[in-house]
Amino acid sequence: MLASGSKVVFTTAFEKYALDGFKLDVVDYLLKPFSYEDFLKAVQKVQKLIKLEKNLPDQVEANNEFLFLKSDYKIKRINFNDILYIEGLKDYVKVYIQNSARPIMSLTTMKLVESKLPGNRFMRIHRSFIVNLKKIDTIERSRIVFGKTYIPVSEQYKERFQEFLDKNFL
């Protein structure tokens, strides 16, 4: 007797058993001698069937609410709404969180962090800075002001930032 959820692939040298196998609800039937490709297809059928039965998605989707960042031997969940800005320091990034005394520091690149952020909410404004567009309160002389911190908008990113301003300017 098979355990519940078991999947069977018949392998035999006799064609006459194929119909009996499918009556028993086997996943596949391989007639000997079979090739590696045929064996692989049978295994993939079994894997696909198991995934369908467990209702597991084939791929996990990214979200627009948070990301996980490794810092101090821990993995921390960071909600996008809490991020003020991100500063790049060579091989590290500092993520400045609203209402937090200290930034979260992680060994990663600005490029990787930027690729994980939703583009409609965050913008790179300098080689070393990405800002949360929803958290901008004050802009002063091509600098974004967060409390006592001034973040420059560099020439390289000025045109794109100006487009954002123009679309949201009264």
Rounded Cα–Cα distance for residues 86 and 146 (Å): 12
Q: Is the pTM of this model over 0.75?
A: no
Rounded Cα–Cα distance for residues 93 and 86 (Å): 7
Domain boundaries, the chain: 9-54, 66-167
Written as tens digits, the pLDDT of the chain (170 aa) is 566 668 888 888 888 777 777 677 788 888 899 899 999 998 998 888 887 777 655 566 667 899 999 999 999 999 999 999 999 998 999 999 999 989 999 999 999 999 999 999 999 999 999 999 999 999 999 999 999 999 999 999 999 999 999 998 87
Predicted local confidence at residue 1, as pLDDT: 52
Residue 116, H or E segment: helix 110-116
Fold observed for domain 66-167: OB fold (Dihydrolipoamide Acetyltransferase, E2P) (2.40.50)
